[in-house]
Chains A and B, each alone.
Chain A
Amino acid sequence: MLKIANLETVYSDVILALKGISLEVPPGMIVALLGANGAGKTTTINTVCGIRKALDLTVEDGSIEFEGESINDMKPHQIVSLGIVQVPEGRRIFAELTVDENLVIGSYSATNRRDFAQRKENVHNYFPILKQRANQRAGYLSGGEQQMLAIARALVASPKLIILDEPSLGLAPLVVAEIFGIIERINKQEDVAILLVEQNANVALAISHFGYILETGRVVLEGPTEQLRENKDIREFYLGLTEVGTKKSFRDVKHYRRRKRWLS
C-alpha cells in the first residue's frame, strides 16, 4: 500500500537525514519502524506526510508511493485526503478545543459528513473515556487520554493508513499496554494499516507483523516480527534481553563492534 523506495532527504540543503531507505506497508498490517533518537524515524514519516516546507526538508532521491500513486510532491492536506493520517509525536491535540471539537477537526478530510455521528460512535467504542469527556477542553485531559484522543482524531477520518509517531511517549507502562491493545484491535476490526514508529521496541514488536530497524538514516535490519524478536542483536540492543543466568560485562559483549557491522 505504502511503498518507499531509496528515499534520501536533506535538511537545509546540508544535513543528510535519510540515506536511501526502502520500506513497505502492506494493507491491513502493522509495520513497526524502530530506532534510537536521530535514526530518522520522524524524518521518514514527515516526508511521507508532506511536511517538508516548514522543516526545510527536501527529497533528494527516491520515491514514495501510496496505492500506486506517487505522493512525493503532494501537500499535507492532499496526502490526508488520500487516506494517510498521522498521529503526531507528542500528541499535538488542540488543547483549546473540546474533545468533541477535536474529533470534528479530525474528520475534516471526510467528504461524507452524514455518517460522522456513526464514525464518532465507533471511535467512542474504542475509547469510552472520550465520550465522558466530550465537552471538556482537551488540554485538561491526562497524558494517556490525550494520546487516546490523538488516535481517535485520526481514526474518525476513516483512513486507510494510520501513522503513529511514538504513541508510548511519556506514558506509564500500564497505559502504554492499554493503548497498544486498542491499536491492535483497531488494526484488526477497522482493516486499517498502521505504521508504528517507536523507540519502545518491546511493545512495538509485540503487536506488529513486520519490522524495520533504522540507524542513522539507513534500514539496518528488517523482517517479520517473529524473526526480529528472535534476532540476537535485537534482543540485546532493543529488547534488553540477554541469556538467562549469564553475567555480562561490556567487554564480553563487544556490542560496539557488532553494531558497527550493521552500518558498514
Chain B
Amino acid sequence: MERVFEIIINGLSTGAIYSLLALGFVLIFKSTGILNFAQGELAMVGAFVCFTFASQLQLPYLLAFLIALGIGAVLGAFIDLLFFRRMVGEPVFATIMITVGLASILTSAAGIIWGHDVHAIRAPFTDKTLEVGNVVLTHGSLITVGVSLLLFVVFMLFFNRSLLGVAMRGTAEDPDTAGLMGINVNKIHMAAWAIGTLVAAVAGIFLADQSFVRLSMSHTGIKAMAAAILGGMESIRGAVVGGLAIGLIEGFAANYLSGAEVGGFHFGDVKEVAAFVVMIVVLMIRPHGIFGREKVERV
C-alpha cells in the first residue's frame, strides 16, 4: 500500500512538471495559435539561467529563481518580436517549422554558453524530506505539485475573469476582429510569449531539482506536448490533468510493467511508451482531448 502511495506521489511530482510545461504550450497556443515545439528548450534555458545565478554566481536561490523567470519572460517577448510578429496570418506550417528551428538554435546556443556537462542546482529544499507514516515525500516534489496547482488556479482565473485573458482568447480566435475591437494584437502576442516562456522556466527549474541541468532535459518537452494534446490543446484544465495523468501512468508503468513477464513475453522499459499509448487511445475516443471542445462551425 505504501508503495502505491509513493508511486502516486512521485508520479504526481513528475506529472506536475509535465503540467507546467504543457501549461506553457497551451498559453502560447491559446493566444497566438502557434504550436510551440521549442517549449522544452525554453525550459532548459530557464534551468541553465537559474543554475548560473544560483550555483555559479552564488546568489540566494529564491533570487536566482526570480531572475531566471524574469529572463525567461524577456526571452519569450524577444522571440515574439524577432520571429513571430511578422508571421501573423502566415500558414500554420511555417510557424511550426520556425519553432522547430528555434528549438535547435536554443539547444546549440545553450551548448555554446553553458557547455555540454551535467550540472545540478542546489536548492534549499534539495534532499529534504517529509515523512508521513511510512511514506517519504521530498520537499522538492511537494513544492512542484503546489506551484503547478497554484499556477493552474491563477491562469484559470486569468483567462476566464481578466480583461487581458479574455482578450487573449479572442485574439487567438480572430486576430483581425480583435484589432477592430481596439486590441493591440502585437502586444497580446508578446505578452503570451512572455508568460508562456516564464512558465517554461519554472518547469525547467523544478525539473532540474528532480534530476540535473543538462541540454537533453529539453526532451521532456515532447511528453509535455503529449500531455497538452491529451488534455485538449486549448484547455488550461486539460494541460494540468493531462500532465498529471502522464506522470502517474509513467510511474505505474515503471513499477509494475517494466521488466514484467507475461506468457513468455518480456516487457522492457515501457515507461517511456506507456504515456504515449494512453494518449493515442484517448485521442481515438476523444479526438479533441479530454477537455477539448470541438470548434463552433456556423456560417
B-contacting residues of A (Cβ < 8 Å)? Answer: 49, 51, 54, 75-77, 80-81, 85-86, 88, 92, 94-97, 101-102, 104-106, 108-109, 113, 137-140, 153, 157
- B182–A81 touching, CB < 8 Å: yes
Having A92-B174, A109-B183, A153-B181, one finds 19 other A-B pairs with CB under 8 Å, namely A51-B176, A75-B179, A76-B179, A77-B179, A77-B182, A77-B184, A77-B185, A85-B181, A96-B173, A96-B296, A97-B170, A101-B166, A102-B170, A105-B178, A105-B183, A106-B181, A113-B163, A140-B298, A157-B181
A-contacting residues of B (Cβ < 8 Å)? Answer: 89, 163, 166-167, 169-170, 173-174, 176-185, 295-298
Residues of A close to B170: CB separation below 8 A: 94, 97, 101-102, 105
Residues of A close to B182: CB separation below 8 A: 76-77, 80-81, 85, 108-109, 157
- A96–B295 touching, CB < 8 Å: yes
Distance (Å) between the CB of A91 and the closest chain B CB? 9
Residues of A close to B173: CB separation below 8 A: 94-97
- B180–A85 touching, CB < 8 Å: yes
Which of A77, A96, A109, A157 contacts B169, CB < 8 Å?
Answer: A96
Residues of B close to A94: CB separation below 8 A: 169-170, 173-174, 177
Distance (Å) between the CB of B101 and the closest chain A CB? 25
- B89–A51 touching, CB < 8 Å: no
Residues of B close to A157: CB separation below 8 A: 181-182
Residues of B close to A85: CB separation below 8 A: 180-182
Residues of B close to A106: CB separation below 8 A: 181
Residues of B close to A102: CB separation below 8 A: 170
**When chains A and B are docked, how far (Å) is the Cα of A113 from the Cα of B176?**
23
Given contact pairs A81-B182, A97-B170, A139 touches B298 in the complex (Cβ within 8 A): yes
**When chains A and B are docked, how far (Å) is the Cα of A54 from the Cα of B177?**
12
Distance (Å) between the CB of B10 and the closest chain A CB? 37
B177's nearest neighbour on chain A, judged by CB, is: A92
Given contact pairs A51-B180, A80-B180, A88-B177, A139 touches B296 in the complex (Cβ within 8 A): yes
- B298–A109 touching, CB < 8 Å: no
Residues of B close to A88: CB separation below 8 A: 177, 180
Can you list 5 A-B contacts (CB < 8 A)? Answer: A51-B180, A54-B89, A80-B181, A105-B167, A105-B183
Distance (Å) between the CB of B299 and the closest chain A CB? 9
Distance (Å) between the CB of A139 and the closest chain B CB? 3
Which 8 A-B residue pairs are closest in the complex by CB-CB distance? A139-B296, A109-B182, A80-B182, A76-B179, A95-B296, A92-B177, A105-B170, A77-B184
Which of A77, A105, A138 contacts B166, CB < 8 Å?
Answer: A105
- A140–B296 touching, CB < 8 Å: yes
Residues of A close to B178: CB separation below 8 A: 105
Given contact pairs A97-B166, A97-B173, A86 touches B180 in the complex (Cβ within 8 A): yes
